[in-house]
Amino acid sequence: MSLEELTTKLTAYFNADDYDSCSKILPLIKIELIKNNLLIPSLTTKKNPNDLIITRSILEIGALVSINLLNLKDFSNYITQLKTFYDLVNILPESQNKNKLLSLYLLLLLTQGDLALFHIELERFNNFGLSVDELERDEFLSIPIKFEKWIIDGSFNKVYELLSSKHNFPCKEFNLFEKDLLDSIRLTIATNIESGYPSLPLENLKLLLFLKNLSDVNYYIDQMNWTVENGIIYFNNNLNDLDDEIKDEKLIVKNSLGYAKEMESII
Amino acid sequence: MSVEQAVKNSVAAEAVKEEKLSVSEKLSELFNLIQKSAQSLDSRYVLKVFRELTPIRSQLTADDLITTIESIYPQSHEHKSYLIATLEPFTQTDAMDISDDVKTSEELLPESDLLAHLLVQIYLHDKKDLKKLDLFNQKCILALKLYNKRTLDHIVAKIWFYVFRAKEQLKDLITIRTDLLAALRTATLRHDIETRASTITLILRSYLLTNDINQAYNLVEKTEFPEEASNSVVARYYYYLARIQTIQLDYSSAHECAITAIRKCPQTKSAYGFLQVSTKLNILIQLLTGEIPELSTFRDPVLEKSLLPYLAVTRAVRLGDLNIFSKALEEYGSSLKKDNNYNLVLRLRQNVIKTGIRIISLSYKKISLKDICIKLHLDGELSAEYIVSKAIKDGVVEATINHKEGYMQSKELLDVYSTKAPQSEFDRRVKFCMSLNNDSVKAMRYPMSTNRVDSKADLEAREREQELLQYLQDDDFF
């Protein structure tokens, strides 16, 4: 099959939301693209901008397909490939899907807890002349940025509220992250609670973790190794307060001897 | 042809030009120094050349340069023609007396050749003729590949600096990377410390200017930076490192790097710009870690004016007031954007809340979550609870939350002197002083005394050393 036929097939499947068939065609298309030296644009290969735009939209479809199939690794790969296309601001017109895909990628980084990479990606927007507060005005990008702020702040209830009011997102793919993101913030909350409270009733923990039933609560209690007595959870974290006291006489002696040796070599 | 003869020739040339401008005299003085460094295989003389170059840099003219080049290059040397062709458009006097064959020397040292290239680069750069500089740089890169001598290192590093500088000014940051990376590889293989340090910083700069933080980080991970390079390059490297780490939210390492950069920064007037930039970054890092920088930082007469926006931001963070913070952002946003620090300042919004909680926990032993809510303008008790527990986890405050009664209780302050902390701090400082002392002893030079009795033995030892050095150099032992 030629590249054109494959592409028309792909768009047909994609428009029909048949993601499985898409994912079968995509590797074939990629091979064709590599044959035509289109998959990786570089400064030295001067290609027809139209060809590049088509390649870009194929990759965008690929990214959307893989995210819909919850194939996160493939999704990251597609984004990495797409970034080189997005950097060609002088040659190609801006893609309409750019902000959508990049904000999905940012959300993915959030669920993986990779805040360093999250901020590195935000810095890259400086290349398009956009600072973070300008990004916040974009309907797609504002979402991951808001989430990140809340997570750093500790306003987890706001994250939960926005995630549970499903229909507010500008595109359906955002909902795919709901479960993963919630799980990841629940874990953060649990570790926060552990260090912040001496004890906590079970009911309140359920509320704080946005959980609906007690079996889910028990899952977290097991995972964090907490002890429960009479419906109250105790966090055993106050043990290491006095451990820092000076007990290590040997270290003092060793240090002093070291100083003496150095002093002698100076004199 | 021996080196001595070359010296003689250049001395003769100098004598002829006696009545000429003092600048060209000084220039040939520089070339004499370079020859000395080539003879003695000691790169200290090269550093001296750079020191003496600074005062005459502003007085350089194309005529002087051409006269000097004429006297240094052999008549038919291939570099000579393009060096002069590059300079010709800038000459003032048309009737140049260049047919005088007596002036020209017949052998060219690699050191002199590259220094001539560097001088032309500096001249073009100061004339702000970047297109020409860029064109000329391609010739420089070719010339650099001809030589491999350790006495060249300092000059080569400088030449690369101007190569990149031209590209940066022309906003063409990506095409030069291949050349720089190749230069880095060659320099590493040759143990050429100066060029290695200089190319690493230049590549980092190129990545940071295009916001490719990840690439920059990978480079830092994969290369080993030579700490023994010149201080100014080391300072620059640490500054870039601090920037990368700040963006990655690794504030404590970033703080250390920024401090090192400020301390290693040269104390001359021309380094004020660097000092300003790195102080700005350091202030932001301090604020991001929850510290408030000392007021005296902002009062430094050299920095005071440029730090104004940062003073406003610091005030807002110190008071823990979001309204003042937004106002400061509005007023100084554009200048913060110009410093490329705007995104970092935006991160501080979160710290405003953190500082607020910290102040509250210091002033109250016990306070209800509701009151925290009101004081920090939060929108609900539940929010306050999450935020406080996060703050406890992050170590911003030492406290516990009582959920049933809905209050936060501060823990008793721990006496630092009952812990190991002062001891380890003391140990760290003593060790630092010791290593400083050792390094200073190692760095001292012991020149051979001229009026000692056994000067003959000295001389012999010196000759032997020279031979050894020569041997090492020729065989390229490295």
Q: A122-158, pLDDT tens digit by residue?
A: 888 887 777 777 777 788 888 888 888 888 878 888 8
Tell if the CB–CB gap between A195 and B389 is shorter than 8 Å: yes
pLDDT in tens, B49-101: 888 887 788 777 888 788 888 888 877 777 878 888 887 777 765 544 444 44
CB contacts, 8 Å: A133 with chain B: 342, 346
* Interchain contact A196–B (C-beta under 8 A): yes
Whether B22 has its CB under 8 Å from any CB of chain A: the answer is: no
Best A109, A114, A118, A152 member to test B by mutation, with max B CBs in 10 Å, is A152
- Do the chains contact at B427 and A255, CB–CB below 8 Å? yes
> Domain locations in chain A?
1-93, 96-196
Name the range with the highest mean pLDDT among A18-32, A102-116, B402-416.
A102-116
Do the domain assignments include residue B345? no
Structure tokens at A68: 């819909």
Query: What does the pLDDT read at residue A47?
Result: 65
Q: Where does a domain end: B136, B157, B172?
A: B172
Residue-level pLDDT at B15: 45
B239 within some domain: no
What pLDDT is stored for residue B202 in this prediction? 93
Which range, A80-94, A242-256, B283-297, is most confident?
B283-297
Chain B residue numbers with beta carbons less than 8 Å from the beta carbon of A149 are 349-350
Task: Tell me whether residues B386 and A244 touch, CB distance under 8 A.
Answer: no
Q: What is the mean pLDDT of chain B?
A: 81
B382 touches chain A (CB under 8 A): yes
- Report if residue B406 sits inside a domain: yes
- The answer to whether residue B121 is domain-embedded is yes
> What percentage of chain B carries pLDDT values higher than 90?
14
User: What is the token pair recorded at B400?
Assistant: 């516990």
pLDDT the model gives residue B99: 45
Which of the four pLDDT bands, split at 50, 70 and 90, describes residue B210?
A: confident
Distances (CA, A) of A12 to A21, A74, A180, A184, B95: 10, 21, 30, 36, 77
- Determine which of B218, B385, B424 to mutate to test the interface with A (most A C-beta atoms within 10 Å): B385
Into how many domains does chain B fold? 2
Task: Select the more confidently predicted residue: B206 or A114.
Answer: B206
- Under the banding of pLDDT at 50, 70 and 90, the label for residue A1 is low
Edge to edge, the sheet with strand B407-410 lists B366-368, B407-410, B399-402
Give the per-residue pLDDT at B20: 47
Give the pLDDT score at B257. Answer: 93
The strand pair at A227-229 and A199-201 is best described as unpaired
* CATH fold of the domain at A1-93: 1.25.40
Rounded Cα distance, B103 and B80, in Å: 14
Ranking A239-253, B242-256, B310-324, B352-366 by mean pLDDT, the lowest is A239-253
To test the contact with chain B by mutation, choose from A102, A110, A153 the residue with the greatest count of B C-beta atoms within 10 A, namely A153
According to DSSP, residue B400 is labeled E
Tell me the CATH number at B397. 1.10.10.10
Instruction: Give A5's contacts (C-beta < 8 A, 6+ positions apart).
Output: none
Spatial distance between the Cα atoms of B161 and B69, rounded to a whole number of angstroms: 22
Model pLDDT for residues A188-211, shown as the tens digit of each residue: 888 888 888 888 888 888 888 888
pLDDT of residue B452: 55
Q: How far apart are the C-alpha atoms of B171 and B165, rounded to whole Å?
A: 10
Region B25-37 average pLDDT: 80
Position A46 scores a pLDDT of 62
* Within a domain: B369: yes
Q: pLDDT at residue B44 above 80?
A: no
| Assigned CATH topology for domain A96-196 | 1.25.40
Q: Residue A230 pLDDT > 70, yes or no?
A: yes
Parent domain of B369: 364-410
Residue B146 lies in a domain: yes
Residues B322 and B258: beta-carbon distance below 8 Å: no
What is the arithmetic mean of pLDDT over B367-375? Answer: 85
* End position of a domain, from candidates B172, B193, B214: B172
> When comparing pLDDT for B40 and B95, which is higher?
B40
Calculate mean pLDDT across residues B433-441. 87
Taking the CA atoms of residue B333, residue B335, residue B340 and residue B345 in that order, the dihedral angle to the nearest 10 degrees is -40
| pLDDT score, position B105 | 57
Q: Does B340 map to a domain?
A: no
pLDDT for res B282: 93
Inform me whether the C-beta atom of residue B392 falls under 8 Å from chain A C-beta atoms.
Answer: yes
Nearest-angstrom CA–CA distance, B72 and B7: 10
Among A99-113, A220-234, B432-446, which stretch is predicted with the lowest mean pLDDT? A220-234
| CB-nearest partner of A197 from B248, B343, B400 | B400
Interchain CB contact of A189 with B (< 8 Å): yes
B304 compared with A237, residue with greater pLDDT: B304
Structural domain ending residue among the three candidates B132, B147, B172: B172
pLDDT at B236: 93
Of the residues A124, A131, A210, A241, the best mutation for testing chain B's interface (the one with the most B CB atoms within 10 Å of its CB) is A131
pLDDT in tens, B254-296: 999 999 999 888 888 888 889 999 999 999 999 888 788 888 8
Q: Is A200's CB within 8 Å of B337's CB?
A: no
Is B420 in Cβ contact with A157 (below 8 Å)?
no
CA distances from B247 to A67, A137, B282, B330, B460 (A): 27, 22, 13, 22, 58
pTM of the full predicted structure? Answer: 0.79
More confident residue, B478 or B92: B92
- How close A137 comes to chain B (CA, Å)? 14
Contact across the interface for A246 and B213, Cβ inside 8 Å: no
B260 found inside a domain: no
What is the crossing angle of helices B421-443 and A249-266, to 10°? 20
HSE at residue B382, side-chain half, CA atoms within 13 A, is 14
